[in-house]
Chains A and B, each alone.
Chain A
Amino acid sequence: MHQRLAALLRKEYLQFFRDRALIYIVLYVFTIEIYVAGTGFNIEVRNYPTAVYDRDNTQWSVQLAEKFRLPYFRVTHLVHSDPEMEALLDQGTVSLVLVIPYGFARDLAEKNHAAVQAIADGTLSNTALLAMGYASQIAQEFALELGERLGRVVPGTEHLGPQVQLKPRVAYNPNQKAEWFASLIELFSVITLVAILLPAAAMVREKERGTIEQLLVTPITPVEIMLAKVISMASIVLVASALSLFLVIYPIFGLPWRGNLLLYTVATALYVFSATGVGLLIATVCRTLPQTILFLLMVIPPILFLSGSWTPEEALPTGMRMVTYLSPLKYYLTIAYGILLKGAGFWQLWQHFVGLTVLGLLLFGFCALRFRRYFG
């Protein structure tokens, strides 16, 4: 058993390291792609292209409009008609239009109450929502300032009205650095993709070239063939993910050193093994490499979407939430975030470890069964 497995493993590594193109792709996705995702992914409101449609044209309206400024809003256009405004929004030249209606200053002076309108381009809904929030905050601050200046709010009497003040403190990522989140999420996605793709491709290639038949006539058991693929490909993915963590995420994005890296490695190994199981399962179904790639395109998105990486699972409908328990990525995400960002230890995460292990074993057992049936 050992000698046969060793011979197979040697073959797998030789083949991988001879495939220049494959090596470049793996290196690329684990380094440059992580870097690009970390720097390029941003849902914050910065330099938000804005137009102002000031129909009031009074001192106060101009003062309000001036509050919309960098770094959040960049006012590029002053519009003077409805069609002009619509055209700007339609073309996507601006994403937000601040409309100050005629009679704004008068209403403020007489009724102590006035309305302005903000029209946002909702195509990028997250950012639009954030921008709207900022806009309403600006409007309120403006009103407060104005009140103080006009003496309508007597200083020192704010406490007379009921007030609740939120003092936010964001834990684990106090500056809410998007690159930590974005680069880690990308790393986990890349691990998922590569750990499924590599063994699937290696296996299907043996089918395409007919080498699998040659192996099956020898005393090798199907499970040995499977193990050789799993061990070789999983170890490659593990090494590549370490490269990415230590060459990109820690040094470039300044992720703080928290948590036990050994524990993280164990979790990653567990996860990668279950993912290679998924890859080999796919290989039992597909006959050619193009088929395998198409199949992967079908399998990967649900694994990513149902893991809680993009959508908090609590926000999902109940049925979908149950399905997320089948995605190994869900357990791995909780564990990896827990260790890397929160510095959590095994005892805080043990349930997720159990979940990951059980799911991994199930996948593996199923895969071994299919291998026996298909190649036995």
Chain B
Amino acid sequence: MATATLNPASPVISVQNLSKAYRRQPAVREVSFELERGEVFGLLGPDGAGKSSIIQMLTGVLTKTQGEARVAGQDVFADPEAVKAHIGYMPQGLGLNLYDSLTVDENIDFFGDLREVSPSTFERNKAELLQITRLDKFRERPAGQLSGGMRQKLALCCTLIHLPELIFLDEPTTGVDPISRRDFWMIINRLVVEQETTVFLTTSYLDEAERCHRVALLHQGRIIAQGIPAELMSQASTEAQGQPRSLEEVFIQALEPESDAKAAPVIPLEELAPPLDLEDAAPAIRVEALTKKFGRFTAVDQVSFEVKTGETFGFLGPNGAGKTTVIKMLTGILPPTGGRALIAGLELRAARQRIKAELGYMSQKFSLYGDLTVTENLRLYGGIYRMAAADLERRIPEILAMADLEGREDQFAQGLPLGIRQRLALGCAILHRPRLVFLDEPTSGVDPRARRKFWQIIGQLAASGVTILVSTHYMDEAQHCQRLALMHQGRLVAVGSPEDLRQQAEAATGRILDVGSPAFREAFLLLQEHFPQAALHGSRIHIPSQQPDQDRERIQQLLNQARLPVAQILDSPLSMEDTFIHFIQAAAPESGNDL
């Protein structure tokens, strides 16, 4: 067996000028990077950037077109089998490597056998993994009956059962609920700290970068920036539109030189209506105890909320939380099992035909006609909404300008890049000037630049008085909404403005002390004993604290006593993810175990 431990001096992964093309379509273009032992390396990028292609080449699943890659001291392309003994690999998708008809126990046993783990090691690893993931209560449950987050945690257990030195994770947290995500990172960090495991992961969440020691930003197969997240962010100039320093900014700035995108001074859509006073505005949507059951499964459970006219209202939650089901009921696609919904004061069930003319809807997956051109799609919807010919002629150029589609009028919709396709879908949805627009995960998988552009358009729409209900699983998109509904397992756990929600959560759990130390591994192990809620975020330690000043001193003291260096201790606000976790736990205190 190839158990020869790796030479600690040489990099665990070393990639030089690696390229991959499908037929003649380049997917990965000359990427180079290195991973040190014990490092968490994140490959960040939108759908279609080439993340999966890279991970599959490094795990020996895919062949290369050009370049070099050494993994665990072996040339992957010369001898993929030799590499496989060292690594664990979790493919993309929620628990796709699991067997649905096998129980949690049986799945783990199967992967243990597959990896030929010795019985004693196996039992120890299994017990530990099940305990951290809190899956130990569900050992007899078939994998097919687990929630998305639980499946993903089980998939991780199966991947880690042989405690590999090197782990490859392909979009492990996409669409996963925040609690499962937190558990997930806990396992990873534990391995990194205790075993010096090396982790290579991909993600489309830019805010997840801070969980990594180093990141590379991938766009259209190229690495456009690479380095330590904090350093990347401090390099990015912050003047642009007063945006806070963020990786999104880094991403967009790295793209600017090679793109002709103007700084997007967006053309006013129509004569903007003065911003409405939301306090007095009549409700555009009123939902009371709305419920949807599919057989024995309750997808939406007694949801009640109100959206004011002219408001941008966000539905935030993981995949499977019930966001899409609520939107489908409000647009009349799905009949509710119980409860009622009023739209513009009209009972949804009774006045559906009338309401429909006032609605715009953009569904989750791209649902325009790919074999029609941009203009043909627009004309189709113009006809469907019975717009007068002259009006349509005026309106189409307006929409093309707004969605930045000029010059693409005669391109087929299926050939457009994802971000542009989504803008066309939005254009079709608002062509007939609806007063109420439903957008179901419009930015899922879209690159940051296109996402920002998309939100600018939404902002304009909102400014013109349109009521917008938008769903998303990106925590960082919460800031774009005036009010938020946090959704978890079919229930609303909180409704309010992002700032209100954060303050409520902070009042209950405290702020975050962000500890930076060059010896973060040792520091984390030490602090964990005194602050059980301490969590590792990349190379920084986050500790929730009710009394920041006292705790700060205590931390400083503890680290000084252990002669561990302290770079800085910052007092930072609660993130949206932490806020979400607080409300999930507050809504059902025991639910922390039942995820």
Contact = CB atoms under 8 A, between A and B. Distances in A.
Contacts of B496: none
A216 interface: yes
B384 A218 contact: yes
Given A218-B385, A219-B353, A220-B384, A15 B372 contact: yes
B367 A7 contact: no
B115 interface: no
A3 B386 CA distance: 6
Interface in A1-48: 3-4, 6-8, 10-11, 14-15, 18-19
B356 A217 contact: yes
A4 B383 contact: yes
B283 interface: no
A22 to B, nearest CB: 11
A213 B367 contact: yes
Interface in A255-288: none
B207 interface: no
Given A14-B372, A216-B332, A209 B380 contact: no
B384 A7 contact: yes
Which secondary structure characterizes the binding site on chain B? loop
A176 interface: no
A217 B383 contact: no
Contacts of B382: 7
Nearest to B376: A14
Nearest to B381: A218
Interface residues of A, number: 23
Contacts of B333: 213, 216-217
A15 B367 CA distance: 15
Interface stretch (B43-51, B358-366, B443-451, B542-550): B358-366
B372 A217 contact: no
Nearest to B386: A3
Contacts of B356: 217-219
Interface string A103-145: 0000000000000000000000000000000000000000000
Given A3-B386, A218-B381, A218-B384, A213 B371 contact: no
B380 A211 contact: no
A219 B357 contact: yes
Nearest to B384: A218
A216 B366 CA distance: 15
A11 B369 CA distance: 9
A14 B380 CA distance: 11
Contacts, number: 69
Interface in B333-358: 333, 353, 356-357
Point out which of A10, A15, A217, A221 has the most chain B C-beta atoms below 10 A from its C-beta: A217
Contact of B383 (A10, A214, A221): A10
Contacts of B372: 11, 14-15
Contact of A210 (B331, B363, B428): B363
A7 B361 contact: no
Nearest to A7: B383
A214 B385 contact: no
B552 interface: no
B217 interface: no
A69 B524 CA distance: 102
B182 interface: no
B67 interface: no
Interface in B238-272: none
A6 B361 contact: no
A215 interface: yes
A231 B369 CA distance: 19
A213 B370 CA distance: 15
B480 interface: no
Contact of B371 (A10, A18, A215, A219): A18
Contact of B368 (A3, A214, A217): A214
Contact of B380 (A11, A18, A217): A11
A221 B379 CA distance: 18
A209 B370 contact: yes
A136 B466 CA distance: 90
Nearest to B389: A3
A215 B377 CA distance: 12
B367 A214 contact: yes
Interface residues of B, number: 29
Interface in B379-398: 379-386
A6 B361 CA distance: 22
Contacts of B332: 216-217
B357 A210 contact: no
Contacts of B365: 210
A2 to B, nearest CB: 9
B119 to A, nearest CB: 45
A215 B383 CA distance: 12
Contacts of B428: 214
Nearest to B356: A219
B367 A209 contact: yes
Interface in A127-176: none
A219 B384 CA distance: 7
Nearest to B369: A211
A99 B356 CA distance: 82
A210 B328 CA distance: 12
Contacts of B359: 217
Contacts of A219: 353, 356-357, 384-386
A71 B376 CA distance: 62
B357 to A, nearest CB: 5
A209 B414 CA distance: 12
Nearest to B362: A214
A19 B414 CA distance: 14
Interface string B566-577: 000000000000
A4 B361 contact: no
Interface in B65-116: none
A17 B454 CA distance: 33
A322 to B, nearest CB: 39
Nearest to A214: B367
Contacts of A8: 380, 383-384
B210 to A, nearest CB: 35
A103 to B, nearest CB: 75
Contacts of B379: 7, 10
A10 B369 CA distance: 13
Interface centre among B363, B384, B385, by most A CB within 10 Å?
B384
Nearest to A217: B361
Given A209-B367, A213-B367, A217-B333, A10 B353 contact: no
A16 to B, nearest CB: 10
B372 to A, nearest CB: 6
Contacts of A19: 371
Given A14-B372, A15-B371, A214 B361 contact: yes
For B328, B367, B385, the residue with the greatest tally of chain A CB atoms inside 10 Å of its CB is B367
A266 B174 CA distance: 57
Contacts of A221: 353
Contacts of A213: 328, 333, 363, 367
23 contacts: A3-B383, A4-B383, A7-B384, A10-B380, A14-B371, A14-B372, A14-B376, A15-B369, A15-B371, A15-B372, A18-B371, A19-B371, A210-B364, A210-B365, A213-B333, A214-B363, A214-B428, A217-B331, A218-B356, A218-B381, A219-B353, A219-B385, A221-B353
Given A7-B379, A11-B372, A214-B368, 12 more contacts: A3-B386, A4-B384, A7-B380, A8-B383, A11-B376, A210-B367, A211-B367, A214-B428, A217-B356, A219-B353, A219-B357, A221-B353
Closest 4 CB pairs of A and B: A7-B383, A210-B367, A217-B361, A214-B367
Interface of A: 3-4, 6-8, 10-11, 14-15, 18-19, 209-211, 213-221
